[in-house]
Structure 1
Amino acid sequence: MSEVATTGSGDIVDLWSADQDLPAWFTKALAVPREEAFIEVGGQKVHYFRWGQRGNPPLLLTHGFLAHSRCFAFIAPLLAKEYDLIVYDLAGMGESEIGTVFEGNQRAQDMVALAEALDLFSGPVKPKIIAHSFGSGVALTAMELAGDRFGGLIICDLMIMRPERLAAHFKGGGGPPGSGKSDRPTNVYPDYEAARGRFILAPPQDVQTPFLLEYMAYHSMRRVDGGWTWKFDPKVFHRSENDQLQWQKAPQRIVDLPHRLALIYGENSKLFDGDSAAYLRELGGGHIPMIAVPESEHHLMLDQPLAFTTALRSVLSLWSEK
């Protein structure tokens, strides 16, 4: 495993921001010093950002399906005074490469290997994981594989429903996280505006901070010969039967996890709501803190970024080692 490229500084001046009236907290966040690099894990390049000072309590963060590390690029800087933060792109998403094996267990093993490669296990404080949606499923498996090496997991709006609600969700055309066709063509659009017109959130929702949606959309695409296309690799849509089974078992797996755990979700989320929390408690999860972010749907960081950060700070403060 070796680091192969390193750059730095923020990305405040981009196509998406040219005509935006951006709030001060956001511009300050993107101005916080950071590292940007690639590291080799399992023969594949993994793209990541790093904020904060080495030696501070480490945090490892990752994103949802078809998203990328910049989901947390305006959240992580708000935690950088107290923590050493790594935010990385999952295989086949963002800037990270994808190999021939990328099922759930492999993704989880890669998460542990990344923490190892970046020396997050060497300090006196165990690294904690913060993961959103699909990334939370990866992190849950990583905790099952190597939970004793981590200091805890904060799951952010992972899709959890009672079996009957889940069946209705599927009947209505919804699918499990990561649904899609792995042989789908990679479309190339003639210009950025055409590509941007195809960018939507899943599940669909309006966002209360439109400039953040523009930021996410811009960094979800890349220039290629002939125009613009998506950064993700279509292979990420392949899901094994074991992956599907593990996801369906997620509610009980969460409750049974013998390690420190908390859940943060959007109060108005379509994938995790108050009934999801009640269901987990009925399964035996009454010991798990479950925090609803007001006026937020599934994409917490795009709806209520500051309230979401406050919720993260609160959990991390309660978990701080004395």
Structure 2
Amino acid sequence: MNDMTSVNDLPADIDPIWAGDGSHLPEWFITALRVPREEGYVEITGAKVHYFRWGNRDKPKLLMTHGFLAHARCFAFIAPFFAQDYDIVAFDLAGMGDSEMRGSAGAAARGKEFVEIAEALGLFADGHKPTIIAHSFGSGAALTAVTQSPDAFAGVVVCDLMIMRPEMLDGYWNKERSSPGSGNPDKPNRHYPTYEAARERYVLSPPQPVAEPFLLDYIAYHSLCREEGSWTWKFSPEVFRRSNKPEEWLTMGKRLVQAPGRKAIVHGGNSMLFSQDSADYIRDIGGNDIPIITIPEASHHLMLDQPLAFVATLRSVLACWKSSPEYEQQC
């Protein structure tokens, strides 16, 4: 198989606006997007929730979600690698991607979203307990979910969640920003006359180069939508109407260690948000039984830096859990 491919019938996700003729895209990416999937919406408390689904409905369940202001397509080229052995759902958090905003944007409401989408799509049927795989902000919400509903999930894989010793976190905030993920909920999203003008404004947080620029183009394109002859961001400004209290982040390490059930941490070797000191801190506060796996040459956005290494790491974690004695009761 060639490393690169030029095809005429590209998957729908590969729009010429960002991908041109697709000749620079690697075969693995195109093949992943061709894996059969269901795309749809379910209505929860009067609002539409957008999701993708791959795999076999009779298999163990995986529930995937993304970081702040991102969307489920962060896993659209990751999830297909699990389709043979799992039933996988990746969903847009409320007010992000193509999901409508609903209810509160606070931590408790975010945690409930995991149970709500799992119930709506039948992931709990026949005693199944989904395993959550979440990135960054989504990981924090996932920890809330398993704490709220300790018997509902088989485990959670936390992917590059910001965890630092409190004194380190204070220094990071003072240096980098006043408040992580801050924004004005009363200010409408800006409109841009062209896609190119909007794309120029798309940046990652924290800022970083990416090893696979075509993946950044893909994520950026699907973060935008056409509206009244212009381009604007998909996310709702309402997502900023959240408590975002500093203590929520200052205690994140303890929350992770104390969260019930199986947990694993996957992080980038070059991440600004989870370092070797973060791993040491987790051990210091009692998380000696939590696997912590580093992906070399990856920064915070693992799927954009080392997507295939990210897949391999997740596969390894799931395989280890699958071989454990309690697996049959949990899946």
Same fold (TM over 0.5): yes
From 20, 41, 45, the equivalent of 2:44 is 41
- In 2, Cα distance between the equivalents of 1:188 and 1:73? 26
Q: Which amino acid in the other structure matches residue 318 of structure 2?
A: L
1:315 partnered with 2:282: no
State the match for 2:31 in structure 1: 28
State the match for 2:249 in structure 1: 247
1:13 shift after superposition? 4.2
Q: What SS does the aligned partner of 1:149 have?
A: coil
- In 1, Cα distance between the equivalents of 2:103 and 2:38? 28
State the match for 1:107 in structure 2: 110
1:302 partnered with 2:304: yes
State the match for 1:6 in structure 2: none
State the match for 2:150 in structure 1: 147
Alpha-carbon spacing, 1:179–1:165, altered in 2? closer, same or farther (3 Å): same
1:247 shift after superposition? 3.1
Alpha-carbon spacing, 1:42–1:177, altered in 2? closer, same or farther (3 Å): farther
**1:263–1:288 Cα contact (<8 Å) kept:** yes
1:164 partnered with 2:167: yes
1:72 partnered with 2:75: yes
- Summarize deviations over 1:18-53 as a string: whole Å, max 9, x none: 144111100100000000000011221100000001
1:176 shift after superposition? 4.8
Alpha-carbon spacing, 1:175–1:87, altered in 2? closer, same or farther (3 Å): farther
1:244 shift after superposition? 4.3
Q: Unaligned stretches of 5+ in structure 2?
A: 1-10
1:292 shift after superposition? 0.5
**1:10–1:32 Cα contact (<8 Å) kept:** no
Q: What SS does the aligned partner of 1:172 have?
A: helix
State the match for 2:271 in structure 1: 269
- In 2, Cα distance between the equivalents of 1:262 and 1:184? 38
Counting only pairs closer than 5 Å after superposition, residues 61-100 of structure 1 correspond to structure 2 as 61-100=64-103
- In 2, Cα distance between the equivalents of 1:177 and 1:54? 38
Q: What SS does the aligned partner of 1:239 have?
A: coil
**Larger deviation, residues 251-260 vs 151-160:** 251-260
State the match for 1:4 in structure 2: none
Superposed CA RMSD in Å reads 1.5
- In 2, Cα distance between the equivalents of 1:105 and 1:14? 40
Counting only pairs closer than 5 Å after superposition, residues 218-257 of structure 1 correspond to structure 2 as 218-240=221-243, 244-257=246-259
Q: Which amino acid in the other structure matches residue 137 of structure 1?
A: G
The TM-score with structure 1 as length reference comes to: 0.94
- In 1, Cα distance between the equivalents of 2:240 and 2:250? 17
From 129, 136, 139, the equivalent of 1:136 is 139
Alpha-carbon spacing, 1:51–1:137, altered in 2? closer, same or farther (3 Å): same
**2:52–2:89 Cα contact (<8 Å) kept:** yes
- In 2, Cα distance between the equivalents of 1:22 and 1:128? 31
- In 2, Cα distance between the equivalents of 1:176 and 1:115? 31
- Summarize deviations over 1:175-218 as a string: whole Å, max 9, x none: 55432222233110000000000000000000010100000010
**2:165–2:250 Cα contact (<8 Å) kept:** no
1:123 shift after superposition? 3.1
**1:161–1:272 Cα contact (<8 Å) kept:** yes
- In 2, Cα distance between the equivalents of 1:308 and 1:54? 24
- In 1, Cα distance between the equivalents of 2:304 and 2:200? 18
- Residue-pair matches, total: 313
**Larger deviation, residues 293-302 vs 145-154:** 145-154
State the match for 1:284 in structure 2: 286
Q: What SS does the aligned partner of 2:317 have?
A: helix
The TM-score with structure 2 as length reference comes to: 0.91
State the match for 2:8 in structure 1: none
- In 2, Cα distance between the equivalents of 1:16 and 1:228? 14
Q: What SS does the aligned partner of 1:181 have?
A: coil
Alpha-carbon spacing, 1:309–1:225, altered in 2? closer, same or farther (3 Å): same
1:170 shift after superposition? 1.4
1:189 partnered with 2:200: no
1:179 partnered with 2:187: no
1:81 shift after superposition? 0.7
1:116 shift after superposition? 1.0
